[in-house]
Chains A and B, each alone.
Chain A
Amino acid sequence: MNVLLDAQEQEVLRAVALFLENECPPTVARISEDGYSGISHALWRKFADLGWLTLCLPEDVGGQALPLTYIGLLLEEVGKVIAPLPVHSTMATALVIEKHGSAAQRAMLRRVGTGDLILAYAVTEASGVWEPGAIAMTGRCEGDAIVLSGAKHFVDGFTVAGMALVAFRLVDDTRGTDELRAIMVDTKTPGLSVTPLRPMARDGQFTVAFDQVRVPAANVIGAGPRAVHDLMNYAAVFMTSQMQGAARHAMMLAVDHVNQREAFDQPIGAFQAIQHMAADMMNGVDGSQLLAREAIWRLSRGLPADAEVSQAKSFANEHCLMVCRSAQQMFGGMGFITICDINLWFRRVASWSLRCGTTYEHRKRLAAILLDQGGPVRLDQAPSALATEDA
């Protein structure tokens, strides 16, 4: 039991932080907001060249084979400087391929590690609901192809990605089944129509319609529903890491501001009304960080983690937004003027809190684990994870 970072974890975290602090001032995020691109290609190249994308990839594709916890740390830092880098979608997807993919599918991870292949994932549909049961896109077997029909909504970074992992139902009319599957789709495949959205974060999010899109059947990821289940857990918990990093930095910016801004003859940061708000902000980000790190640690050990992922995301949705909203409050009127940087953080965390599962969706899943399975609960004994089947 040591919930603090060990020496190697601290070293990696420091190195990433140093790089991003130097290379990613808020102007980089601002430029990426023009046209809702969600990426700085120049920064992505430098980031990849330093090997940060290879941390948790297996050695046979040029990776460093570190535990998943390093991806969490990486995303905390990416969130901190709100770097316009599609690390979240790329790594959440890559880890599913790494875990469940065939040898041929895993081979593409080499290009992920070098930064040459950006990945996206597509789970949510028009309802916006983050639940396996809300996935309705169909895929039918035709020879050696799967023909996909339907639409995916709220897809992060689709246009900058080379491949997207798409959750769908494999319809077999003769057997009367429609089991969940995940399939790798080339984002340039004919039959896709892409509509850019305008999220508050001003990063890249898209609706992608699939009109009888033919994808090689060999692109289906093994393990079926399990792959979708893992994808959703990775996406939700790594989004939590990113939100927490961003919220923590917003807090630090706001504290720096109130320690200097004077009113009533002293820095407003000397007033308890401000200090007590700051203390609650600290507990909000620390709580989010501890929950997310534990969930990721469990995933890294192959332990069931549905409850822990949902604890983390539901808590962070509310508390990280509270932190960023409080930071806005500390900046006063300037906070919501566009030239003031603080709202860059608020807008992102507000957007991200609505992706990969809302507060209520995650609490619903957590409540089912707590209340619908037999046996008494105890806080230090993780309730066993739900089955992977559809809700």
Chain B
Amino acid sequence: MDFAFSDEENELRASIQTFIREHLTDEIRRDLQETVVGQGYSEASLKFLGMIRDNGWSAVSWPTRYGGQGRSRIAQFIVEEEFHRAAGLGVGGGGTGAPAILASGSQAQKDAFIPGSIRMEIIFCQGYSEPHCGTDLAGIRCRASRVGDKFVINGQKIYTTNAQNSTHIFLMVRTDPQSRRHSGLSVLLVPMNLAGITVRPLWTIQHEPRAPSVTTYAEPRTNEVFFDNVEVPVDALLGEENDGWRVAQRGLNLDRVGARRYLISTMRDEDIVNYLKSGDELVEQKRNDPRVRDKVAELWAEAQVCRLMTMRSLSIEENGGNFVYEGSAEKVFAPEHGVRATEAISQILGPQAQLLNGSPEAPNEGVFAHNLLGAFQSTVNHGSVQVMRDQVARKGLGMPRQKS
């Protein structure tokens, strides 16, 4: 066992930190935060993102033949961690789209999508959840019918975050109308500018006022996406027809876990320690309160478990292994820790912790109130913690399914 990053990995981290110190201005940070509403990036932000791309940090672990850096998943994690910490920015090469295309795509698809993804000109949103099925994706109804050399798509997706800024949707559809459950699903790579696609915003509880940067689940907006006789050529199919479930699994790239999940669950623990040490007169007495000190230490130990579970997931990936239950386990412990931490911190701080961004007397731009609005979303999104517990019990401990 080895709990340290290598010298090379530490150098990578230091170089990113230097880059961020030198180039990430408050203006860009604000603009990146606002862009999620759908107004596009400012000149300054585009220049900043261009420098990230030129440094190769948008595709750290992707193969060099497609323009990636060919580095390890650990290196990718380090890039993701530093940009998330600095600006809540998802950079590194995880997420939806390209990792799955690298895993299952044809040569033509790799050539068509990977270089553009590295240049951040191609951005995917994820088309999985539907109004009647979220965690249980086997219930997907959105249909794609084969008509000649085309698929015709009809149906609806929901919680399609960032659809307003995406060029493509990674769309899970039912291609075999007779199929049940996971069989008969397929993945299509669908441009968002096609006729028949309608994006409607769903405004979250972080919408007004807007959460400050690096809040837990700061997104003010997600979307519904409607498909009305949308036509795509058959080569939009990723992997085999009716094999979409496995295609999606192969491209997870830590999906539910990894840097972002770890950080949104644990940065609150750093926040409270650093705030208590800040010298702010509001918290100076609390810092010496034995009840506060005990709770802070309890949360810190839990946060370290979150970090170590993330390191475990990385180690498994790096060794070429597959998760048995570990990803699901982490997706239970970290989000629930995030909730416990956020709620306890609110009680430590008192009534100031309910004040939203822009309110008089709100400490730290209202981040504590906005975290309280966001923390529990992590126990819902990307697979509820209840279903994740089922996975831990069944896959990790071999417990049986309930008779229906």
**A residues with CB within 8 A of B:** 1-6, 9, 69, 251, 255, 258-259, 265-267, 269-272, 274-276, 278-280, 282-283, 286-287, 290-291, 293-294, 297-298, 301, 308, 310-312, 314-315, 360, 362-364, 366-368, 370-371, 374, 376-380
Q: Are A259 and B399 in contact (CB under 8 A)?
A: yes
Min CB distance A308 to B, Å, is: 8
| Given A272-B402, A290-B312, 19 further pairs, Cβ under 8 A | A1-B314, A2-B1, A3-B308, A269-B399, A274-B399, A276-B386, A279-B390, A287-B302, A287-B309, A290-B308, A293-B1, A294-B3, A311-B301, A314-B297, A363-B293, A366-B300, A371-B277, A376-B277, A379-B307
| Interchain CA distance A73-B115 in the complex, whole Å | 46
Which listed residue, B301, B312, B329, touches A3 by the CB 8 Å rule?
B312
Q: Which residues of B contact A294 (CB under 8 A)?
A: 3, 304, 308
Min CB distance A198 to B, Å, is: 30
Q: Are B276 and A291 in contact (CB under 8 A)?
A: no
Name the segment of B4-12, B47-55, B118-126, B247-255 touching the other chain.
B4-12
| Interchain CA distance A315-B298 in the complex, whole Å | 8
Task: Say yes or no for B273: interface residue by CB 8 A criterion.
Answer: yes
Q: Are A275 and B1 in contact (CB under 8 A)?
A: no
User: A69, A272, A282, A298: which has the most chain B beta carbons within 10 Å?
Assistant: A282
Tell me if B's interface is mostly helix, strand, loop or mixed.
Answer: helix
Task: Say yes or no for B280: interface residue by CB 8 A criterion.
Answer: no
| Interchain CA distance A376-B121 in the complex, whole Å | 37
Closest residue of chain A to B316, judged by CB? A4
| Interchain CA distance A380-B267 in the complex, whole Å | 11
| Interchain CA distance A24-B7 in the complex, whole Å | 44
Q: Are B392 and A282 in contact (CB under 8 A)?
A: yes
Q: Are B273 and A370 in contact (CB under 8 A)?
A: yes
Q: With A364-B297, A367-B293, A377-B274 as given contacts, are A278 and B399 in contact (CB-CB < 8 Å)?
A: yes
| Interchain CA distance A363-B316 in the complex, whole Å | 31
Q: Are B1 and A69 in contact (CB under 8 A)?
A: yes
| Interchain CA distance A266-B404 in the complex, whole Å | 10
Q: Are A279 and B401 in contact (CB under 8 A)?
A: no
> 6 tightest CB-CB pairs across the interface, nearest first?
A275-B393, A363-B297, A290-B308, A367-B293, A279-B392, A279-B389
| Interchain CA distance A294-B3 in the complex, whole Å | 6
Closest residue of chain B to A308, judged by CB? B304
Provide 17 A-B residue pairs closer than 8 Å at the C-beta atoms, listed in order of the A residue. Answer: A1-B314, A266-B403, A270-B402, A275-B390, A276-B390, A283-B333, A287-B308, A294-B3, A297-B2, A298-B3, A315-B302, A362-B297, A366-B300, A367-B297, A370-B297, A371-B276, A376-B270
User: B290, B309, B388, B399: which has the most chain A beta carbons within 10 Å?
Assistant: B399
Q: Are B389 and A291 in contact (CB under 8 A)?
A: no
Q: Kindly supply a per-residue 1/0 record for chain B positions 2-34, scoring 1 wherever the CB is within 8 Å of any chain A CB and 0 otherwise.
A: 111110010000000000000000000000000
Min CB distance A9 to B, Å, is: 7
Tell me if A's interface is mostly helix, strand, loop or mixed.
Answer: helix
Closest residue of chain A to B290, judged by CB? A364
| Interchain CA distance A3-B2 in the complex, whole Å | 6
Q: Which residues of A contact B301 (CB under 8 A)?
A: 291, 310-312, 314-315, 363, 366
Chain B: interface size category? 35 or more
User: A2, A269, A360: which has the most chain B beta carbons within 10 Å?
Assistant: A2
Q: Which residues of A contact B333 (CB under 8 A)?
A: 283, 287
CB interface residues, B 294-336, toward A, < 8 Å: 294, 296-298, 300-305, 307-309, 311-312, 314-316, 318-319, 325, 329, 332-333
Closest residue of chain B to A362, judged by CB? B297
Q: With A266-B403, A267-B400, A377-B273 as given contacts, are A367 and B393 in contact (CB-CB < 8 Å)?
A: no
CB interface residues, B 98-138, toward A, < 8 Å: none
Min CB distance B6 to A, Å, is: 7
| Interchain CA distance A267-B2 in the complex, whole Å | 40
| Interchain CA distance A232-B271 in the complex, whole Å | 30
Q: Are A377 and B270 in contact (CB under 8 A)?
A: yes
Q: With A4-B315, A379-B270 as given contacts, are A258 and B399 in contact (CB-CB < 8 Å)?
A: yes
Task: Say yes or no for B396: interface residue by CB 8 A criterion.
Answer: yes
Q: Are B393 and A279 in contact (CB under 8 A)?
A: yes
Task: Say yes or no for B80: interface residue by CB 8 A criterion.
Answer: no
Q: Are A269 and B400 in contact (CB under 8 A)?
A: yes
| Interchain CA distance A116-B269 in the complex, whole Å | 48
Closest residue of chain A to B312, judged by CB? A3
Which listed residue, A1, A9, A301, A312, touches B6 by the CB 8 Å rule?
A1
Which listed residue, A1, A9, A301, touches B311 by the CB 8 Å rule?
A1
Q: Which residues of B contact A363 (CB under 8 A)?
A: 293-294, 297-298, 301
Q: Which residues of A contact B290 (CB under 8 A)?
A: 364
Q: Which residues of A contact B397 (CB under 8 A)?
A: 251, 255, 278-279, 282
Task: Say yes or no for B71: interface residue by CB 8 A criterion.
Answer: no
| Interchain CA distance A275-B274 in the complex, whole Å | 38
Q: Which residues of B contact A315 (CB under 8 A)?
A: 301-302, 305
Q: Which residues of A contact B9 (CB under 8 A)?
A: 1
Q: With A278-B397, A282-B396 as given contacts, are A1 and B298 in contact (CB-CB < 8 Å)?
A: no
Q: Which residues of B contact A293 (CB under 8 A)?
A: 1, 3
User: B269, B298, B304, B307: which has the most chain A beta carbons within 10 Å?
Assistant: B304
Q: Are B399 and A255 in contact (CB under 8 A)?
A: yes
Q: Which residues of B contact A377 (CB under 8 A)?
A: 270, 273-274
Which listed residue, B296, B312, B325, touches A371 by the CB 8 Å rule?
B296
Closest residue of chain B to A363, judged by CB? B297
Closest residue of chain B to A369, judged by CB? B297
Q: Are A370 and B1 in contact (CB under 8 A)?
A: no
Task: Say yes or no for B394: interface residue by CB 8 A criterion.
Answer: yes
Q: Are B297 and A2 in contact (CB under 8 A)?
A: no
Q: Are B305 and A371 in contact (CB under 8 A)?
A: no
Closest residue of chain B to A286, judged by CB? B329
Min CB distance A349 to B, Å, is: 18
Min CB distance B354 to A, Å, is: 24
Q: Are A1 and B74 in contact (CB under 8 A)?
A: yes
Q: With A270-B402, A371-B293 as given contacts, are A278 and B392 in contact (CB-CB < 8 Å)?
A: yes
Min CB distance B338 to A, Å, is: 13
Closest residue of chain B to A251, judged by CB? B397
Q: Are A1 and B4 in contact (CB under 8 A)?
A: yes
Q: Which residues of A contact B3 (CB under 8 A)?
A: 1, 3, 293-294, 297-298
Closest residue of chain A to B2, judged by CB? A2
| Interchain CA distance A265-B71 in the complex, whole Å | 53
| Interchain CA distance A370-B389 in the complex, whole Å | 32
Min CB distance B16 to A, Å, is: 14
Min CB distance A302 to B, Å, is: 13
Q: Which residues of A contact B393 (CB under 8 A)?
A: 274-276, 278-279, 282
Min CB distance B76 to A, Å, is: 12
